Chains A and B, each alone.
Chain A
Amino acid sequence: QKEVEQNSGPLSVPEGAIASLNCTYSDRGSQSFFWYRQYSGKSPELIMFIYSNGDKEDGRFTAQLNKASQYVSLLIRDSQPSDSATYLCAVCPGGTSYGKLTFGQGTILTVHP
């Protein structure tokens, strides 16, 4: 069973702080890794994707991947109340077609003013 695990939270951070979200995956052959944001009652919205070990930055967001440790994280700098949502880690497992994503259960993030 190929699993993606996240701490369900909730994670509460003050406005302006850095929020750190973590994810581990079981399939060592996984090829690509995604972070989605999901507001309550809405659909997942792609924030970032990463393929290679290391960091990838996009605005206030930084994704980090460590394939040896089977670990991917998302840092949100200067957190805003509008960032309050559930953050879903998704992995494209090895040996499958791209687009077949395995999701974690999500981490609830609350940014308080």
Chain B
Amino acid sequence: EPEVTQTPSHQVTQMGQEVILRCVPISNHLYFYWYRQILGQKVEFLVSFYNNEISEKSEIFDDQFSVERPDGSNFTLKIRSTKLEDSAMYFCASSESRVRVYFGPGTRLTVL
């Protein structure tokens, strides 16, 4: 069964550094998302992406965040200057129909 894949599984970075989290959505899906989950807290929506542009974003998704689909398969989330509070599990997700949203395994980001 096709799956969303994410790399790396764990990223450790220093505060103020830039990080790029990578995702390969399911191949025939057209809608892509980033969610995050701070340890012990709810899963939170960050951004949705369709047709090479952001379709919706949350209040969390400020100017420090950006997303890109650099080629036909990858979907990336960039955090320009990481803060301690960015430490979380980041889930990429994709959907064919915007109904069934399939999550990747996540990247655990630790900001020191």
Binding site for B on A (CB under 8 A): 32, 34, 42-46, 49, 88, 90, 96-106
Cα-based distance from A52 to B77 in the complex (angstroms): 35
Whether B98 contacts A105 by the Cβ 8 Å rule is no
Whether B44 contacts A99 by the Cβ 8 Å rule is no
Residues of A within 8 A of B48 (CB): 97, 99-100
Whether B45 contacts A100 by the Cβ 8 Å rule is yes
Check A99/B98 contact, CB under 8 A, given A43-B105, A104-B42: yes
- How many Cβ-Cβ contacts under 8 Å join chain A to chain B? 53
Residue with the highest number of chain B CB atoms closer than 10 Å, among A49, A96, A99, A103: A99
- Bin the interface of chain B by size: 20 to 34
Q: What secondary structure prevails in chain A residues at the interface with B?
A: loop
Contact of A101 among B31, B41, B97, B101 (CB under 8 A): B101
The 6 closest A-B pairs by CB, nearest first: A98-B98, A43-B103, A103-B43, A99-B98, A103-B42, A97-B56
Whether B103 contacts A99 by the Cβ 8 Å rule is no
Residue of A nearest to B101 (CB): A99
Whether B100 contacts A43 by the Cβ 8 Å rule is no
Whether B105 contacts A46 by the Cβ 8 Å rule is no
Residue of A nearest to B108 (CB): A41
Nearest CB of B to A77, in Å: 23
Q: Tell yes or no: B102 within 8 A of A by CB.
A: yes
Whether A99 contacts B31 by the Cβ 8 Å rule is yes
Residues of B within 8 A of A34 (CB): 101
Contact of B95 among A44, A99, A102 (CB under 8 A): A99
Whether A99 contacts B42 by the Cβ 8 Å rule is no
Whether A97 contacts B98 by the Cβ 8 Å rule is yes
Cα-based distance from A98 to B73 in the complex (angstroms): 22
Residues of B within 8 A of A102 (CB): 45
Cα-based distance from A34 to B35 in the complex (angstroms): 16
Residues of B within 8 A of A32 (CB): 99
